[in-house]
A and B are shown apart, each in its own frame.
Chain A
Amino acid sequence: MLIKLTGGTLYDPANAIEGKVRDIYIRDGRIVPTPPASDPVHRSYALDGKIVMAGAIDLHTHIGGGKVNIARTMLPEDHRAHVRNRTTLTRSGGGHATPSTLVAGYRYAEMGYTSCFEPAILPVNARQAHMEMADTPMIDTGGYAMLGNDDLLLQLIAEGAEQETINDYVAWTLHATQCIGIKVVNPGGINAFKFNARELDVDDLHPHYRISPREILKTLSLALNNLGVPHPLHVHASNLGVPGNFHSTLTTMDAVEGLPIHLTHVQFHSYGAEGDRKFSSSAAEIAEAVNRHPNISIDVGQIMFGQTITVSGDTMRQYANHGHAHPNKWTCMDIECDAGCGVVPFRYRDKNFVNALQWAIGLELFLMIDDPWRVFLTTDHPNGAPFTSYPHLIRLLMDRSFRNDMLSQINPDAASSSHLGTLDRVYSLYEIAIMTRAAPARILGLTDRGHLAPGAIADIAVYHQNDNPEQMFQQPMLVFKQGEVVVEEGRITRPVNGTTQVVRPDYDTGIETRLGDWFEQYHSIKLQNFKISDDEMAAGIGSPVTIHPCHGRS
C-alpha cells in the first residue's frame, strides 16, 4: 500500500531540511523515494501548512524496571488522583508521576513520541524491565544495562584484568540483557555505600576494591569504544545533587581522556557552593566545558514545579536526600548485590530557593550549550518532572517572554542569582527537531529513525502551526507508527505495540567460563536462566528485538 503525505512543511535536521515543503511516500511501514507516477496512491493526507517531523525519541526516561514499580506502589494516591478511563480502543490506567505502563505508552504517543529508552536496567532486573516495556504500548523501547557497581566488574578492574576481558563482559551483558547501551550510575559509589561510604568523588578510592570512579569510567568507556557500540557510555556522574558538585562533573569529563561519553541529567550535576546559602549555579562552567569537549553529549534532566517522585539506582545519593521526601515515605535498597535503588517522592516548589534555582540551572544549560546535537530534552522522567511536561519545557525554550514571565514568579533570590534573565537565546523549531529527533537517533546509532529520508521507518509526527509551542507539541494532528496512523488530534485511534532496540557487539564466549563460576558462587539464578533469548523476547515477553548495527570491533 502506498501512502502519500502531501504538502507538509518538513523539519528534518538529519537531512538538513529546515521548513521546506516536501511530499513523503510510505510503503510497507517505511519511507520510500518518490515512486513513478504510474504507481497508484492508496491513501493520501493533505498536510498543507502543517509541520512534519520524525517521531520523537526520548533517550532517558524511567518507564520500566523494579524501581518504577516501587514508585508506583509507594504512591497509590498518584494513581487514584489521575485515572484514565477505558475506551473502546485503549485500556484503563492511571498515575501522573509514574503512570502505569499502558498510560505511559498512550501519553507518549499522544505527544508524538515513537521511541523511548529506559536508562537504568539492572542486569538481574532486565527481564522484568522488558516485560514492563512490552506492556507499554505505542512506542518502541530499549534500555541501557547498568554496570560499574557490580562486584564482578569492580573485582576485574581491581585485579588488573585485561581490557579484552572487560570488553567481553560488557558485550556479554548487552547480549544477555537485550540492551542497547551501558549506563554507569555514580561509578563505584552504589557499591561503596554498602561498605559504609557516604560519598565517593571521582578520584576517591573505593573502600574495599581500592579503585577510583575515574578508573571505572575509563575502563567502561574504552570497552564500549573498542566494541564499536554506537551509544557512548551513559554516565550518571558522582555526587548528584551535592552543592559544589560541578567539580566532579568536570573531572568526569576529563577522566575519559577524549573518549565519547554521554552525561545524563546534568542539571543535577551543575551546582556550585557560592553565596549565602552555599548553593549556586555552575551551569556556565559546565556549558563551557561541554562546548569545549566535542566527545561529550548531555541530557539536561530539567525540573518542573510540582509533585513527582525520584527513582534512581544511586542508593548513596538517594539515602542522603531521603530527608526531603514529600510525602514522607521513601526506600533505599540493594538489588541482588548488582547495584541499588532509591525511591524518594519529591515536590519541587517554585518559592523554594534551591528548587527555583534548579529550574533555572536546567534552562541555563539548554541555552548556554551551543550545539543542539549534543544536548537532549529530558526531565529525567520522573525525577525532574513527569515526561508529560515536555511541551511546557519546549515553550520555555522557544518563547523568551514566556520564560521571563515564569522567571519572575519563582523565588526572587534564585531568580536574581541566575543568569537566565540575561540569556536571549530562543530555540527554533529546527533545533527542537534536532534535540528531540535527529540527535538522539544519531547518539544511539539508530539509522532507521529520527529522520524522514527514504529507508527510515515511517514514524512521523504532524503538528498544527501554533504560535504557542506548548499547545502545538501537546496535541499532534497525526502520529504515524510504522506507516499507520495511530494518533489523530492527540487521541489514540489505533493501539499498536513496539519492538525492543538492541545492539550485538562481537565477543569471545569464553568469558562465560569466568561468569559461570561467578554465578554459581554468588548469584541467585543460574547463568543460563539469566540470559534473555530472542525467542523469549518475542514470544514470552512480547516485544521482539530489532538489532541495530555496531561499528565493528577495533
Chain B
Amino acid sequence: MSALKLRLRQSIHQRIDMSPFTPQRLADMRLTEIARLPLWQGNQKVACGDLFVLSGDDPQDIVIQSDSDRLDEIGSGMTDGSIHVEGCAGAYLGYTMRGGSLFVTGDVGIAAGCNMSAGTLTIAGSAGDLLGGAITGERQGMRGGKIIVKGNAGDRAGDQMRRGTILIGGNAGDYCASRMIAGTLVVRGEAGAKTGLAMRRGTLLLSREPASLPASFNDNGKHNLNFLTLFTRSLQNQPGFSDLWKRGSRVQRWLGDLGYDGKGEILVWCE
C-alpha cells in the first residue's frame, strides 16, 4: 500500500474546506469514490478529482501537496493515522483534532490546532494568530495534545488554552498565552507585548523577558524549579528543543494575571 496523495492541480482563488480528508473519514473509500467527493469552492460544488490529482491507496497515510494558503481545516476532527502536508496550509489546521499526527512542511494560517484535544501537530514553518486557541464563541481553546512550531507564531498563541503543550521554536506575537486557563507553552525566541494578559493558570516558559507584561503580574523572584529538569528531559527527543535541558532549572518567575485568579506563571530562564 502507498500513501494516499492529493496534489492541488492549480492555484485557487476561493477557500476550500478540506475536512473530508481525514483517515477515519476516508477509511473504506476507493480512489474513485474519493475523486467524486463534493467540495465547495465559493458558491459552487466541485468534485474533489477536479481540484486534486489523486493517487495511492492508503487513507491511513494521507499526503497533501499544495502551495496554496487557502486549504482550510486540514485534519479537522482527525482521530488517528497521519496527514503530511508538503507545502502550506490555510486556517483551522487540525481544528478539533482528537488523535493521530499532522505534519506541515511550510507555513500555516490562523487558528492552527484550535480546540484540539489530542494528537500531535507539527509545523515546520510559521503559524498564524490564535495557535492552539479557541474558535470564536468557545470558552476553551486547546484541551490536550501537543503542538510544535519550528518557526514563529502569530498573536494570541495559546489563547484560552486548557491543557496540553505548545512548543514554539521562533518568536511569539503579542498577547501570548492570553486568557490561558491551564497547560504549558514554551517560546524559545521572543514573546511580544502584553504576554499573559488575562491568564488564569498555566505555565509559560520563555528564553527571555517578553517585550512587556501586563501591570497585573507580580515579580515572584528567582527559583530553582525541579519540574523543569523533568520537563526539559522529556523533550530530549524533540528536534529543535532537545537541548533545552542545558538551560538548567533556575528561572525568574512572575505570577498573574491578578485580575483573573492570578495563578498563572511566567518563567524566564536566568542567564
Contacts and interface: CB of A to CB of B under 8 A. Distances in A.
Contacts of A328: 139
A368 B153 CA distance: 63
Nearest to B138: A77
Contacts of A74: 137
* Majority DSSP secondary structure for residues of B touching A: loop
Chain B interface size band reads under 10
B226 interface: no
A75 B139 contact: no
Interface in B141-190: none
Nearest to A78: B137
A327 B139 contact: yes
B53 to A, nearest CB: 29
Contacts of B10: none
Interface string A74-99: 11110010000000000000000000
B40 to A, nearest CB: 11
A75 B138 CA distance: 8
A131 B138 CA distance: 29
B137 A76 contact: yes
**Chain A interface size range:** under 10
B136 A76 contact: yes
Interface string A311-331: 000000000000000011100
B136 A329 contact: no
A74 B138 CA distance: 10
Contacts of A77: 137-138
A73 to B, nearest CB: 8
A328 B160 CA distance: 14
Most chain B CB inside 10 Å of its own CB: which residue of A77, A328, A329: A77
B99 to A, nearest CB: 22
A328 B140 CA distance: 11
Nearest to A74: B137
A106 to B, nearest CB: 20
Contacts of B135: 76, 80
Contacts of B136: 76
Contacts of B139: 327-329
A77 B96 CA distance: 14
B12 to A, nearest CB: 21
Which 10 residue pairs of A and B lie closest in terms of their CB atoms, listed nearest first?
A: A76-B137, A77-B137, A76-B136, A327-B139, A328-B139, A75-B137, A77-B138, A329-B139, A74-B137, A80-B137
Given A74-B137, A75-B137, A80-B137, 8 more contacts: A76-B135, A76-B136, A76-B137, A77-B138, A80-B135, A327-B139, A328-B139, A329-B139
Interface of B: 135-139
12 contacts: A74-B137, A75-B137, A76-B135, A76-B136, A76-B137, A77-B137, A77-B138, A80-B135, A80-B137, A327-B139, A328-B139, A329-B139
